[in-house]
């Protein structure tokens, strides 16, 4: 009996995770557009899952900042305004420049630079694929930058913003968003880190984030 319960728990978790991935991709690809109300009966039928499992996935998406609650708790795809996007990128700049400074101070800087260059190669490989793959490769680079610094609180802070970051990418549409994913822009960050100049790395990342926000909202 205990083994059966455990297997059912794993099955439920799997369904929740599959629903979470499907909904997240639908939101970040624009299939579920900002402001759209999320009707539980409709979504549970589309995903062929129970409403309870759907609610679990939606709660996670709400924590990630992809879904927001309106009057009477009605959920909808989150819609960001220009100020929110500028604020998000300002915080990203602060977090990622701190990660770069920490990374520069470490004796393993050269190894970390190699890992970041490998992440840029992954971004280049994603160029020939779809928009969703390019988003993931771009986020993987910035997430890696934060993780390489070794500050777990910083990583947690960045990851708590990830849903909002994804929504900001969708704000102005794929064309503008892809401008921010240029390979050369990311090489500049790695080159600054490799130089060992913390002030240069900080300014390069701040400029990167400021330019990215302007591209999306201006």
Query: pLDDT tens digits, residue range 68-108?
Result: 998 888 899 988 899 999 999 999 999 999 999 999 999 99
Query: pLDDT tens digits, residue range 97-149?
Result: 999 999 999 999 999 999 999 999 999 999 878 888 888 999 999 999 999 98
CA separation for the pair 80, 167 (Å, rounded): 7
DSSP per-residue letters across 56-79: HHHHHHHHHTSEEE-GGG-EEE--
pLDDT reported for residue 180: 87
pLDDT classification of 7: cutoffs 50, 70, 90: very low
Per the document, the length of the chain is 218
pLDDT at 194 over 50: yes
pLDDT at 6 over 60: no
């Amino acid at each position: 009996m205990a083994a059966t319960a455990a297997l059912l728990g794993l099955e439920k978790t799997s369904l929740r995770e599959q629903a979470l991935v499907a909904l997240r991709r639908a939101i970040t690809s624009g299939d579920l557009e900002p402001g759209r109300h999320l009707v539980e009966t409709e979504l549970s039928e589309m995903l062929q899952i129970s409403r309870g499992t759907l609610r679990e996935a939606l709660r996670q998406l709400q924590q990630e900042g992809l879904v927001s609650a309106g009057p009477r708790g009605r959920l909808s795809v989150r819609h960001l305004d220009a100020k929110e996007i500028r604020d998000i990128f300002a915080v990203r700049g602060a977090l990622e420049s701190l990660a770069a400074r920490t990374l520069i101070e470490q004796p393993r800087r050269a190894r970390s630079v190699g890992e970041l260059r490998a992440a840029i190669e992954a971004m280049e490989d994603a160029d020939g694929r779809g928009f969703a793959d390019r988003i993931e490769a771009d986020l993987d680079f910035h997430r890696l930058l934060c993780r390489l610094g070794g500050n777990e609180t910083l990583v947690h802070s960045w990851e708590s913003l990830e849903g909002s970051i994804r929504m900001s990418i969708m704000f102005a549409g794929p064309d503008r968003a892809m401008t921010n994913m240029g390979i050369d822009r990311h090489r500049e960050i790695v080159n600054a880190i490799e130089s060992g100049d913390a002030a240069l790395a900080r300014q390069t990342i701040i400029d990167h984030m400021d330019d990215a926000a302007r591209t999306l909202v201006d």
